[in-house]
Structure 1
Amino acid sequence: MTTETTETYEHLRAEAAAGRVEEVIVAVPDLQGRLQGSRLSVSHFLDEAAHSGFGACVYLLATDVEMDTGPGYAIDAWNTGFGDFTLHPDPASLRTLPWDPGTALVLADATWPSGAPVDIAPRHILRTQLDRLAQRGLTAYAGTELEFLTFRDSYRQAWESCYHGLEPATRYNVDYALQGLGDLEPLVRRIRREMTRAGLTMETARAEVHPGQYEIVFRYDEAMTTCDNHVLFKNGVKEIAAQEGHAVTFMPKFDEGEGNSCHIHLSLRGTDGSAALADPASHDGMSDLMRHFVAGQLACLADFTLLMAPNINSYKRLQPGAFAPTGIGWGRDNRTCPVRVIGSGHSLRIEHRVPGGDANPYLAVAAAIAAGMHGIENRLPLPAPHASNALADPAVPRLPSTLTEALHRWETSEIAAKVFGDTVVSHYAQAARTELAAFERTVTDWERVRGFERL
Structure 2
Amino acid sequence: MTAMLEVSELRAAGIETVIVAGVDMYGKLFGKRMPVRSFERVVGEGLHVCTCVYAWDFDQDLEALKVEFAGAHTGWQDFRLRPDLATLRRAAWLEATAICLADSVDEDSGEPLPVAPRTILRRQVQALNAQQLNAYTATELEFHLYRGTPDELRRSGYRDLEPTTLARSDYAIGAGNAMEPFFRQVRNALEESDIAVEVAQAEYGLGQWEINLEYAEAIETADRHVLFKSAVSDLARANGMTATFMPRPLSDGMGSSCHVHASVRGDDGSTPFYDADADRTASAPLRHAVAGVLDRVSDLMLFYAPTVNAMRRIISHDFAGNGLTWGFDNRTTTCRLITGGPDANRLEMRLPGADVNPYLASAAVLASLRDGMGRRIDPGPACTGDGYSEPHGELPITLGDAAATLEQSLFAATTFDKEVVGHYAAVARNEWLQFLRATSDWDRDRYFETI
Residue 400 of structure 1 deviates from its aligned partner by 1.6
Residue 437 of structure 1 deviates from its aligned partner by 1.5
Which stretch shows the higher mean deviation, 186-195 or 237-246?
186-195
Counterpart of 2:53 in structure 1 is 60
Counterpart of 2:104 in structure 1 is 110
Name the CA distance, whole Å, in 2 between partners of 1:257 and 1:117.
Answer: 41
Identify the match of residue 384 of structure 2 among 384, 387, 398: 387
The DSSP-based 3-state class of the residue aligned with 2:438 is coil
Q: Deviations over 1:338-362 (max 9, x none)?
A: 1000023121000110000000000
Identify the match of residue 420 of structure 2 among 412, 420, 424: 424
- Normalising by structure 1, report the TM-score: 0.94
Counterpart of 1:363 in structure 2 is 360
Q: For residues 19 and 284 of structure 1, do their structure 2 counterparts lie closer, same or farther at Cα, with a shift above 3 Å needed?
A: closer
Counterpart of 1:448 in structure 2 is 444
Is residue 24–residue 40 contact of structure 1 (8 Å, CA) maintained in 2?
yes
The DSSP-based 3-state class of the residue aligned with 2:279 is coil
- Correspondence 1:8-157 to 2 at 5 A: 11-16=6-11, 18=12, 20-47=14-41, 49-70=42-63, 72-112=66-106, 113-157=108-152
Q: Is 1:186 aligned to residue 220 of structure 2? A: no
Residue 391 of structure 1 deviates from its aligned partner by 1.4
Identify the match of residue 328 of structure 1 among 307, 315, 324: 324
Name the CA distance, whole Å, in 1 between partners of 2:338 and 2:177.
Answer: 34
Task: Give the ranges of 4+ consecutive aligned residues of structure 1 lying more than 4 Å apart after TM superposition.
Answer: none
Name the CA distance, whole Å, in 2 between partners of 1:398 and 1:454.
Answer: 33
- Correspondence 1:228-307 to 2 at 5 A: 228-255=223-250, 256-307=252-303
Identify the match of residue 318 of structure 1 among 307, 314, 320: 314
Q: Deviations over 1:57-81 (max 9, x none)?
A: 1111222111123563231222111
Residue 365 of structure 1 deviates from its aligned partner by 0.3
Partner AA of 1:211 in structure 2? L
Q: For residues 392 and 21 of structure 1, do their structure 2 counterparts lie closer, same or farther at Cα, with a shift above 3 Å needed?
A: same
Is residue 170–residue 181 contact of structure 1 (8 Å, CA) maintained in 2?
no
Identify the match of residue 175 of structure 1 among 158, 170, 174: 170
Residue 185 of structure 1 deviates from its aligned partner by 2.8
Q: Which runs of 5+ in 1 are unaligned?
A: 1-7
Residue 281 of structure 1 deviates from its aligned partner by 2.6
Identify the match of residue 201 of structure 1 among 196, 206, 216: 196
Partner AA of 1:36 in structure 2? F
Is residue 83–residue 102 contact of structure 2 (8 Å, CA) maintained in 1?
yes
Counterpart of 1:3 in structure 2 is none
Residue 187 of structure 1 deviates from its aligned partner by 2.0
Name the CA distance, whole Å, in 2 between partners of 1:372 and 1:19.
Answer: 42
Name the CA distance, whole Å, in 1 between partners of 2:339 and 2:153.
Answer: 41
Residue 193 of structure 1 deviates from its aligned partner by 1.4
Residue 284 of structure 1 deviates from its aligned partner by 3.4
Name the CA distance, whole Å, in 1 between partners of 2:396 and 2:389.
Answer: 16
Residue 381 of structure 1 deviates from its aligned partner by 2.1
Q: Which runs of 5+ in 2 are unaligned?
A: none
Name the CA distance, whole Å, in 2 between partners of 1:183 and 1:319.
Answer: 33
Q: Deviations over 1:139-194 (max 9, x none)?
A: 01011110011111221111011101011011110000011346533222211111
Counterpart of 2:339 in structure 1 is 343
Q: For residues 179 and 28 of structure 1, do their structure 2 counterparts lie closer, same or farther at Cα, with a shift above 3 Å needed?
A: same
Residue 230 of structure 1 deviates from its aligned partner by 0.1
Is residue 294–residue 325 contact of structure 2 (8 Å, CA) maintained in 1?
yes
Q: Deviations over 1:52-101 (max 9, x none)?
A: 11111111122211112356323122211112101111111111111211
Partner AA of 1:274 in structure 2? S
Residue 435 of structure 1 deviates from its aligned partner by 0.6
Is residue 24–residue 103 contact of structure 1 (8 Å, CA) maintained in 2?
yes
Is residue 318–residue 324 contact of structure 1 (8 Å, CA) maintained in 2?
yes
Partner AA of 1:79 in structure 2? H
Which stretch shows the higher mean deviation, 201-210 or 434-443?
434-443
Q: Deviations over 1:241-293 (max 9, x none)?
A: 11111011010001121011001111100112211211113233122222211
Partner AA of 1:296 in structure 2? G
The DSSP-based 3-state class of the residue aligned with 1:346 is coil
Q: Deviations over 1:204-241 (max 9, x none)?
A: 11000011110001110000000000000001111111
Name the CA distance, whole Å, in 1 between partners of 2:261 and 2:286.
Answer: 14
Identify the match of residue 162 of structure 1 among 157, 171, 178: 157
Partner AA of 1:56 in structure 2? V
Name the CA distance, whole Å, in 2 between partners of 1:271 and 1:96.
Answer: 31
Partner AA of 1:391 in structure 2? Y
Is residue 282–residue 339 contact of structure 2 (8 Å, CA) maintained in 1?
no
The DSSP-based 3-state class of the residue aligned with 2:289 is helix
Which stretch shows the higher mean deviation, 228-237 or 405-414?
405-414
Aligned residues: 444
The DSSP-based 3-state class of the residue aligned with 1:191 is helix
Counterpart of 1:410 in structure 2 is 406
Name the CA distance, whole Å, in 1 between partners of 2:80 and 2:144.
Answer: 36
Q: For residues 323 and 293 of structure 1, do their structure 2 counterparts lie closer, same or farther at Cα, with a shift above 3 Å needed?
A: closer
The percentage of counterpart residues that share the same residue type is: 39
Is residue 184–residue 212 contact of structure 1 (8 Å, CA) maintained in 2?
no
Is residue 151–residue 169 contact of structure 1 (8 Å, CA) maintained in 2?
yes
Q: For residues 19 and 341 of structure 1, do their structure 2 counterparts lie closer, same or farther at Cα, with a shift above 3 Å needed?
A: closer
Name the CA distance, whole Å, in 2 between partners of 1:320 and 1:86.
Answer: 41
The DSSP-based 3-state class of the residue aligned with 1:206 is strand
Counterpart of 1:5 in structure 2 is none
Q: For residues 133 and 330 of structure 1, do their structure 2 counterparts lie closer, same or farther at Cα, with a shift above 3 Å needed?
A: same
Counterpart of 1:4 in structure 2 is none
The DSSP-based 3-state class of the residue aligned with 1:125 is helix
The DSSP-based 3-state class of the residue aligned with 1:175 is coil
